[in-house]
Amino acid sequence: MTSIALSRSLNRLKQPLENLGYEVFIEDEIVKPVDIFIYSNSENLHSLQSTMQVLNSTFSSNIIDPSEYRGTLLIDGSNKSVEELQYIIRNRAYSPIL
């Protein structure tokens, strides 16, 4: 199951993403490495840096199989619909490669 962490300011996306079958955490609830982190570009840079520190320490403190970990995709969720986010998550890309 794909795990997603959200910036607190994007809490409104939690339920719709859970309804699509994703495991969703708010940034201060992260307890394991996540596949996707959706942040808001309108938040200050310090907030994103703090979250990156949490992601790094969570990865370091949890033993996972490195062959199964693909990294955490960072997505700016500002002004994106759930459908746009789902496309990005499924394709791990912001736009199709032409």
Cα 42–Cα 44–Cα 46 angle in degrees, nearest 5: 150
How large is the average pLDDT for residues 69-86? 86
pLDDT at 98: 45
pTM: 0.77
Q: What is the pLDDT of residues 43-60, one digit of tens each?
A: 555 566 666 666 666 655
Neighbours of 52 (CB within 10 A): 14
Nearest to 3 by CA among 48, 40, 36: 36
How confident is residue 1, by pLDDT bands cut at 50, 70 and 90?
confident
